[in-house]
């Protein structure tokens, strides 16, 4: 019952926050999620989505750290560290209500994917000049 909704949220979150070069891989994962025949397959594929967004966020943060200076860099590092703590706590909290169930990994990955997509979107919107955009 919740499967189509969860997939929709995962895919929309990913597709709206990834570059064109990553688009083909996300489309492959979307197809894999839609055609998954087991909970294990759903769990693995949703994990791949969250890992892809983690890599995207890491690249964006690395570019920002190289390009920012002074107080702006200091505050960015502080913000990134605080966000990482929030991220870890939040996805674990959201998945806990499914503790022990076979769907728990997918729910954890769904929460992680949503949080990562929101963070990436926020940083990209902050970068109004496109200075830190992936090339």
Nearest to 113 by CA among 87, 77, 81, 84: 87
Q: Looking at the domain assignment, is residue 52 inside a domain?
A: yes
Q: Does 131 reside within a domain? A: no
- Check whether 15 has a pLDDT greater than 50: no
CATH number where 81 lies = 1.20.1270
| Average pLDDT for the chain | 85
Residue 43: inside a domain: yes
**pLDDT band at residue 30 using 50, 70 and 90 as cut-offs:** low
Q: Is residue 103 assigned to a domain?
A: yes
> Residue 44 has which token pair?
């693995």
Q: Is 0.85 topped by the overall pTM?
A: no
Structural Rg of the chain based on CA atoms = 16
Domain enclosing residue 52, as ranges: 3-126
- How many structural domains comprise the chain? 1
pLDDT exceeds cutoff 70 at 41 = yes
Position with higher pLDDT, 62 vs 135? 62
Task: List C-alpha distances in Å: 74 to 25, 48, 68, 80, 135.
Answer: 34, 31, 9, 10, 25
Asked if the structure places residue 18 within a domain, the reply is yes
In a domain, 30, yes or no: yes
| Cα end-to-end span (Å), the chain | 40
Q: What is the 3-state secondary structure (H, E, C) of 47-110?
A: HHHHHHHHHHHHHHHHHHHHHCCHHHHHHHHHHHHHHHHHHHHHHHHHHHCCCCCCCHHHHHHH
43 DSSP assignment = H
- Going from the C-alpha of 27 to that of each of 14, 35, 41, 105, the distances in angstroms are 10, 12, 16, 21
Name the token pair of 129.
């000049």
């Amino acid at each position: 019952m919740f499967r189509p909704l969860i997939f929709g949220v995962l895919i929309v979150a990913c597709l709206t926050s990834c570059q064109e070069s990553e688009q083909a891989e996300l489309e492959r994962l979307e197809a894999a999620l839609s055609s998954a025949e087991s909970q294990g397959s759903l769990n693995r594929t949703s994990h791949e989505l969250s890992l892809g967004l983690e890599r995207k966020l890491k690249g964006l943060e690395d570019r920002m750290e190289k390009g920012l200076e002074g107080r702006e860099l200091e505050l960015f590092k502080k913000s990134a560290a605080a966000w990482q703590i929030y991220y870890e706590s939040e996805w674990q909290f959201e998945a806990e209500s499914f503790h022990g169930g076979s769907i728990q990994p997918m729910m954890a990955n769904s929460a992680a994917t949503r949080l990562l997509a929101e963070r990436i979107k926020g940083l990209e919107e902050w970068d109004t000049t496109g200075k830190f955009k992936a090339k």
